[in-house]
Each structure stands twice: as structure tokens, then as C-alpha cells.
DNA sequence: ATTATTTATTGCAATATTACGATATATTTT
DNA sequence: AAAATATATCGTAATATTGCAATAAATAAT
């Protein structure tokens, strides 16, 4: 086999898994942190910042964009990326619901 | 290549990515939700609940356990799983820091 | 128009993940 | 001790991910 059986899970479970997967790589965590830290669009300083090839970073950016976590606009010869505010908020809410659903009680195991 | 170059990222970035990856599958989201919803240990009703083979579920449980998100104790012939309270708290804090680091401002792109 | 600059895409090799049947292990019941 | 029950592990096939060199595409500067 080798392919996730998405059809047996709920839409919510699949969507959350997709968002988590988009962030589940140290390079993509680093990219997001860099975008957040710079507090504005970043235009092409990622290749110098991280130690990965340009093609690799472009690929990671594409995945983040596909997941809707970031957005980019062409700015002359370069492309500027920033967080997608709506989706970031949605993700925060979904994760808060998911993670906050657990309330530590008397340990059972 | 095909293997993540962890050495070029920080310990924090790698650890967060590992935790996110552990959750980044609909089956594992479903397993965690089921454990949380039942509010106590669950002992082997996952195979009936989800539509996956026993071997597959055992594998997913192992990954969640390796990541430290759940813990299990042998209870007679079956094994009971529950959330690992300390690590769950840690994950919540790390994610809040990460996700909360972004504050929506005047959109730039 | 040519050259430089920046990002995207393609192609490919190495590795990882997903799923499951078969089988092993471990405990309880008979 | 043998059978039943529950979980783990092994082996394997199918698919996905990661990384990069090479190349394409698109705009800016000369």
C-alpha cells in the first residue's frame, strides 16, 4: 500500500493532519519563524539564512503556500512572503481546540 | 538525497518538527482525539473504532509513544494508553509560543 | 537586445512513510 | 498444558518526501 486512507477519517481530522504535516519539517519551522520574526514580508533572504539549496527552499515555500500558511506576492524581480493571517488564526483555533481538549486528571496509566 | 539535514537547524526547530510530524497523520489525530474524549485510559478499542488493521494501529501507537505524546501500561492481556501529561503540556507551550509569535499587522503582501 | 538577478520547475537518487498479512509474544482462561 | 485474547514485530509492496543540480521563466539593469 503506502498511501494514507483518508476516506476513513473525518474532514476535520484530514485537514488538521495536512496543516500539521506542512509545518512538520525543521526547514519549514525555520522559514515560518523567520517570516514571523521579521514582522514583515521577506523577499529572498531565506537562501542566505538557511543552509539549503535554492531549489529546496523554493519547494518548501511551495508546500507552505499550498497549505495556506503563507502567501506571496511578486515584487519586481523577487517574491515576498508573509503569513496568511486568516489561515494562521484558523490553525491556532483548531490546535487550541485539539490540544486544549485534554485536561490532565488523576493519571490512569 | 532524501534525508532531512537536521544538523543545520536548531534543537528547538528539530524537536518541534518531530512532535508535529508525530501528529501529522489523520489516524494519529483520530487516536489522540479518541484517547482525549474517553477521558481515561483506553485499552484496545481502537481497532474496532478506526477502520485500520491491527498492525497498522499498533505502528501508529508506537510512533505516538516514541514522540512522548502518549504512554501505555500493560493491563493484564491488553495495553492501556493515555496522554502523557507533562509532554502534552510542553507541546502546548511550545506551539503557543510558535503560533502566538505572529501578530497580524497591516498586511504587507 | 544582452546580461544579471531572482524564483520556479524538472528530473532523479536516496530515504521515509503507510498499510497489511503473517507471525511472534505475553497473559488469562479453561 | 492447551486454547483464547490482545498487542507487537517482521517483511514487503506501494507511495511520498527530501535534497540538489540543471534548467527554465520572468523582470530589471545596462
Range B48-66 average pLDDT: 96
| A21: in domain | yes
User: Quick check: A91 pLDDT over 70?
Assistant: yes
Given pLDDT bands bounded at 50, 70 and 90, which one contains residue B17? very high
In a domain, A102, yes or no: no
Q: CA-CA distance, A34 to A50, in Å (whole number)?
A: 10
- The pLDDT-based confidence of B42 (bands split at 50, 70, 90) is confident
- CB of B46 closer than 8 Å to CB of B57: yes
For cell 535554492, the residue is A54
A105 inside 8 A of chain B by CB: yes
* Window 10-39 of B, Cβ < 8 Å to A: 10, 13-14, 16-17, 20-21, 23-30, 32-33, 36-37, 39
Q: Domain for residue A1, yes or no?
A: no
Inter-residue contact A73 to A82 (CB < 8 Å): no
N- to C-terminal Cα separation, chain B: 34
Contacts of B9 (CB under 8 A, 6+ apart): A26, A27, A29, A30, B17
Helices (H), ranges, A1-109: 11-23, 26-38, 46-49, 54-66, 85-100
Least confident of B14-23, B28-37, B73-82: B73-82
Residue A23 in contact with residue A98, Cβ under 8 Å?
Answer: no
- Report pLDDT for A107: 65
- Whether B94 maps to a domain, the answer reads no
Confidence at residue A45, expressed as pLDDT on a 0 to 100 scale: 87
Question: Is residue A31 exposed (0-12), middle (13-18) or buried (19+ Cβ within 10 Å)?
Answer: buried
pLDDT bucket at B43, cuts 50 / 70 / 90: confident
In this complex, is the C-beta atom of A108 within 8 Å of any C-beta atom belonging to chain B?
yes
Question: Which of B22, B41, B46, B108 would best serve as a mutation to test chain A binding (most A beta carbons within 10 A)?
Answer: B108
pLDDT tens string A14-66: 999 999 999 999 999 999 999 999 877 787 889 989 999 999 999 999 999 99
The CATH number given to whatever domain includes residue B37 is: 1.10.10.10
Q: How far apart are CA A24 and CA B19, in angstroms?
A: 8
Closest residue to D5 (CA to C1') is: B77
- Does B93 reside within a domain? no
Whether pLDDT at B41 is above 90: no
Contact A27, B16 (CB under 8 A): no
Q: Is residue B35 part of a domain?
A: yes
Q: Structural domain tally of chain B? A: 1
Give B6's contacts in chain A (Cβ within 8 Å).
26
* Nearest-Cα residue of chain B relative to residue A102: B36
- B93 band by pLDDT with thresholds 50, 70 and 90: very high
Domain with B19, as residue range(s), is: 10-85
Which residues, 6 or more positions from B48, have their beta carbon under 8 angstroms from its beta carbon? none
Q: Is the Cβ–Cβ distance between B37 and B76 less than 8 Å? A: no
Residue B90 lies in a domain: no
**A33 within some domain:** yes
Amino acid at each position: 500500500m503506502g498511501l494514507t486512507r483518508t476516506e476513513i477519517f473525518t474532514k476535520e481530522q484530514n485537514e488538521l493532519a495536512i496543516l500539521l504535516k506542512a509545518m512538520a519539517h525543521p526547514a519549514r519551522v525555520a522559514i515560518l519563524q523567520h517570516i514571523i520574526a521579521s514582522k514583515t514580508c521577506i523577499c529572498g533572504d531565506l537562501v542566505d539564512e538557511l543552509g539549503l539549496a535554492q531549489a529546496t527552499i523554493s519547494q518548501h515555500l511551495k508546500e507552505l503556500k499550498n497549505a495556506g500558511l503563507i502567501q506571496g506576492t511578486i515584487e519586481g524581480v523577487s517574491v515576498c512572503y508573509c503569513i496568511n493571517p486568516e489561515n494562521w488564526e484558523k490553525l491556532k483555533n483548531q490546535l487550541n481546540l485539539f490540544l486544549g481538549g485534554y485536561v490532565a486528571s488523576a493519571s490512569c496509566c
